[in-house]
Structure 1
Amino acid sequence: MIEAGIIGGAGYTAGELIRILLRHPEVNLNFIYSTSQAGKPVASIHQDLLGETDLKFNGEINSNADVVFLCLGHGNSKKFLAENTFSEKTKIVDLSTDFRISADDHSFVYGLPETKREEISAANYIANPGCFATAISLAILPLASESLLKEEVHVNAVTGATGAGTSLSETTHFTWRDNNFSAYKAFEHQHLAEIKQSVKNLQSDYSSVINFIPNRGNFSRGIHCTAYTGFRGGLEEAKELYQDFYKNAAFTFLVEEELHLKQVVNTNKCLVRLQKFGDKILITSIIDNLLKGASGQAVQNMNLMFGLEETLGLKLKANYF
C-alpha cells in the first residue's frame, strides 16, 4: 500500500482528495496535517465523510510517507518545503501555483497527463495544474501540437464558488453570489502564465495573445470554457486532429452534443466539443474544478508516478440528476 499524507487538510481540494484516497485500493491515508484543526475528527470539518472515516487531523507530519499532497494556499508550498523535510523516497504533488512555471528554479514537473505522461511517470515532484489552466489548455493544445494557432485566442470561462476556496470574502457570501454573475481579473488571471507555457511547449513560435475573461457563476462547482480562434481547415479535419491527440487520454473526450456542467461534476473528466463558424473554430470544454481541476488530477498524477493504472480510484459518476 502507498502511504499517503495531506498537508493542509481543511479546504475544498483537501476534502475531495480525502474522499478519493479513502476509497483508493492501493492507498492508505496515513496522516492529514492541519495546524488549524489538529486533534479534531476529519468528519467534523468535511461533513460529507461522516461515517466514512475515524481519522483525525494531525499536528505533525510523517516525513517517511510515500507520497505527500500539498493543499496549501498559493505561496505557502515553497515556505512549507523550506521549513520541513521528507525522505528521499517521498514523492510530492503540489496543488498550488508555486511550482507550475518551469522557468523557475525547481525540479517539479508540470502535471498535465494529456501532454506530460512520460515525464510524470518518471518524476518525484509534480506541480498540479490550475483549474482554469486545465480546462483552457485541453481546449487549445491539440491545435498547438500541429502549429495551427495562427491568431489570437479568445477565451471566456465561468467557475463555481468553490474555485475561490473556503476563506470568506465579499464575493463568496451567499447574498452576493446568489442570482449573480461577474467577471474578474480580465486579461490578468494567474493561470495565463501556465497556459502560455503549455502552448509554447508544443508550438514554440506562438507569439499572439491569449485573451482570457474569467467569470464567477452562482453555482458550487464546475468550469465551462469557450475558446475561439482562426482556423482555415474544415470541422472534420479539426475533429480528426483532436481525436488523435486524445486517443490515449484516460479522461479527456471529444463529444458531438452540446455540453453542460452536469456531465462532468463529480468526475475527473474533461469533455471537449468543436464547432466551426466561418473561418473560426469554437472549442467548448468542461471540467469539475475540484476534481480534474485539482484533486482528481492530483490522484491521476500519483497513479502515474507509482506505475498504477491511471484511472485507479477515479472512476466516478457525474451527479446528473
Structure 2
Amino acid sequence: MSQIHAAIIGGAGYTGGEMIRLLLRHPKVKLQSVHSSSNAGKPLYTVHKDLLGETELIFSEQPFTDIDVLFLCVGHGDAKKFLEQHLIPDAVKIIDLSQDFRLPSGSAFGNKYFVYGLPELNREQIKTAQHIANPGCFATAIQLALLPLAQAGILSDVYTTGITGSTGAGQSLSNTSHFSWRANNIQAYKSLNHQHIKEITASINQLQKDSPLSDVGEGPGIHFVPWRGDFARGIYTSSTIDCSFPLEEVNRIYKDYYNGHAFTFLSESMIDLKQVVNTNKCLLHIEKQGNKLIIHSAIDNLLKGASGQAVQNMNLMFGLDEKTGLDLKANYF
C-alpha cells in the first residue's frame, strides 16, 4: 500500500486536533477528510489556529469516503451511536478513542470485535486486528507502571495518585476547566471511582497468573485518586505497592518487559512532565523505601494517552514501523 487513506470523525476537539497534526505529517498517510457536524464547511485552521498555512482541508459533513482507516475522536458513548447510524465497509479499519469498547465485556459491536490497543500489552493482536479500542489516558500511564509486575505475578494491591492537565477534560468549558479556576489550584476528583479503574483491572487480570480475563476479577485492587492540575497537558502518576523484591531485581523485571518496545523507557533518575510533553513516550522511575515500591509514570495525555497511541496502533495494523510519524521531541523549555 503506497498510502493509507484516513478520515477523522470528531475533528474539532483537542484529541481530534492532535490526530490531524500527526496525520498531516505522517509519511505514509493521506488525510482524506475530517468530520465535524458543528464546523462543516469551515477550514480546519479556523478551529485549530496553528494549522493556518499547513492545510486547506475543510471540515466535512460527509463522515468518510474511500478510506482505509477511520479514527473516532468522539465523546464517550458517541462512538457506539456513530456505528449504529453508519454502515462502515468491512475493509475499513476502525480506531476508537472513546471508552465505548475498551472493556472485555463490551468489546464486540455486531460482527466487529475491538482489540484493546495498548501495544505494550497486545502488540501481536493489534497487528492482525481490524478494530482497535484505544486506551484511556490515565489508564495508559498507570498500566505501563504496573504491567511488568503483573506479568511477574508479584503485583499486590495498588495505591495510585495521578495528576492531569486541563486538556484531559476536553475542549468544552466547565467550572473546573476555566483558567481562573485552574490557575494556582489543584483538586482531587472521582476518588476511588474513576472510569479507568475497570480498564486497568482488565489488563492486570490478563497478565496476572490465574486471574480471569474480565472487567473486574479477583486480582489486585486498584485504589486510584486522580487530581486536576494547574497546567495544560501531561499526566504524572505515582503507584505504591508492597514488595519484598530488591530494587535491582525490580528494575531488571521492568527492563526485560519493555525491551523492544519503542516508547516506554525506565529512567534511573527522577522523571518530570517536561520530558514527555509533545512526545509519544512513557517514562518510568522506580523507588523503594523499606517494603514499599513506588513506580512513577509520565505521559502526554493527548499523545501517548490518546492520538499518538492511536497512530502507533495504526502503524502496527498496517505493517509499518510503529514509530513512523511519531518522531517527536519534547518541548522542554
Does the alignment reach a TM-score above 0.5? yes
Structure 1 counterpart SS, 2:323: coil
Aligned mate of 2:13, from 11, 14, 25: 11
Partner of 2:197: 192
Partner of 1:172: 177
Structure 2 counterpart SS, 1:229: strand
Query: 2:63 & 2:236 partners in 1: Cα distance?
Result: 37
Do the aligned partners of 1:8 and 1:72 also contact (CA within 8 Å) in 2?
yes
Aligned mate of 1:141, from 131, 147, 153: 147
Do the aligned partners of 2:277 and 2:331 also contact (CA within 8 Å) in 1?
yes
Code of the aligned partner of 1:28: K
Aligned mate of 1:131, from 137, 156, 160: 137
The 5 A counterparts of 1:1-321 are 1-104=3-106, 106=108, 107-149=113-155, 151-203=156-208, 204-205=210-211, 207-321=219-333
Structure 1 counterpart SS, 2:59: coil
Code of the aligned partner of 1:181: I
Code of the aligned partner of 1:138: L
User: Displacement of 1:208 after TM fit?
Assistant: 3.2
User: Displacement of 1:63 after TM fit?
Assistant: 4.4
Structure 2 counterpart SS, 1:103: helix
Please report the RMSD computed on the Cα atoms of aligned residues, expressed in angstroms: 0.8
Query: 2:252 & 2:220 partners in 1: Cα distance?
Result: 25
Code of the aligned partner of 1:193: K
User: Displacement of 1:89 after TM fit?
Assistant: 1.1
User: Displacement of 1:2 after TM fit?
Assistant: 0.5
Query: 1:307 & 1:41 partners in 2: Cα distance?
Result: 32
Code of the aligned partner of 1:300: Q
Percent identity of equivalent pairs: 57
The count of corresponding residues between Structure 1 and Structure 2 is 320
User: Displacement of 1:51 after TM fit?
Assistant: 0.9
1:60-88 per-position Cα deviation (integer Å, ceiling 9, x unaligned):
02243100000010000001001001222
Structure 1 counterpart SS, 2:16: helix
Code of the aligned partner of 1:154: Y
Dislocated runs of 4+, deviation >2 Å: 61-64, 204-208
Query: 1:85 & 1:31 partners in 2: Cα distance?
Result: 17
Code of the aligned partner of 2:60: N
Query: 2:106 & 2:58 partners in 1: Cα distance?
Result: 36
Unaligned runs of 5+ in 2: 212-217
Code of the aligned partner of 1:43: Y
Do the aligned partners of 2:107 and 2:115 also contact (CA within 8 Å) in 1?
no
TM-score after normalising by structure 2: 0.95
TM-score after normalising by structure 1: 0.98
Do the aligned partners of 1:63 and 1:85 also contact (CA within 8 Å) in 2?
no
